Structure 1
Amino acid sequence: MSRRQLAYAPTPYSYTPTSNLSATINLDEEVKLSTTSAERDLYESLAEVYSIIVTLDALERAYLKDSVTDAEYTETCNRLLKQYKSNLSDETVSKAFVDLETFKGAWDIECPRATERLRVGLPATVEHPSARPATQGSEANATLVVAATENFITLLDAIKVGMVEKDLLHPLLVDIIQAVNEVSDKDFDNKGKIVEWLITLNQMRAAEKLTEDQAREFSFDMNQAYNGFKTTLTRK
């Protein structure tokens, strides 16, 4: 028995719903992503991290275009970096976040400038300070020099007594880079090592510790940077 030929070619749009099917979704009903308060808190935290990354990328662009002052940029960047770290300090959020590249892939964002800033963990004005006012001249303010020196000594003493946790060393190192930049915007021998170690520590979890070999290398590099800093002060 031959099959009767259809009068038209079937298309994906030729489907006719049967009468025994009915809609089970209220289109006016709000769709909830979470069913518990814990899930809601997690999604809110991840949304905040997303917002921070996008905002930080926009801030970096504005800074490169001179659309914000150094002071405005530094203050806002520091605040965003702190908020980013604060959100990820929660173990549940950190586990869902995985890492920056995974998070960016999951949410389909690039934000290359924010990515670099989060990798460094410092505002560009701290990583690469601008020139100091000409009124300061070649003689650094004695108070600033003393503060920078004390910061170096504090860090080196901390390493000697075995304080090698990231959450202890990172703030001390930030104090050093900020202090030496207040004294002078010029480079000195091994100043780059300070930034390199800042980046290394920034990639570690708060409770992580430097290994014995890392601690020895860190101490050596910081001693070299301290000597380079002191040599700069004696130059005319």
Structure 2
Amino acid sequence: MEVKLWNDKREREMYENFAELYAIIKATEKLEKAYVRDIISSSDYEIECHKLIAHFKTLASTLKDTVPSIERFADTYKMDCPAAINRLVISGVPATVEHRSATAGSATTSAAIVAECVQNFITAMDSLKLNMVAVDQVHPLLSDLSGSLNKLTILPPDFEGKTKMKDWIARLSKMGAADELTEQQARQLHFDLESSYNSFMAALPNDGT
């Protein structure tokens, strides 16, 4: 006999988000162990860790009413993931960024801005996937992203991400707060974000700073 976990679309989305949160925590735990055991390079670890932290923050914000405590969520589902909880909930930045903070102030500043840019890129893309397409939802995300990109001095003034975000912000500013992007607009924005993110990652120096 098949047992249904949900009774309506809202419940189904909630359980799907629970599953994604579970997967992010598990993946982070494995990534942390791989880094500690020197199975993965520092640069690869940092890139993947930035992505997981950004995904986690977006999802945790979406689930804040149903999952007020990540630690309790982990206990409920018997997840033995102390390294992931520390990285996602307590630290909020990759171990490599933490380590640099003790040795190089200027490098840390740059690394922190890179981390901020990555987080803002992924938060914006994740929000579109979650159908958060109202102007008052999208505009702040793009403004945060644009601001973080402008703080990173290694990027040229005509960097693709800067110009595209500026164009989108200008377009959104002409719309009402409650207006929503059409499906075509949302798809184009996601494409522009993904393209800009790839260009951003390609523009970073090899040492990640």
Q: TM-score if structure 1 supplies the norm length?
A: 0.43
Q: TM-score if structure 2 supplies the norm length?
A: 0.48
Q: Which structure would you say has the larger RCO, counting Cα contacts within 8 Å and 6 or more residues apart?
A: 2
More helix by proportion, 1 or 2?
Answer: 2
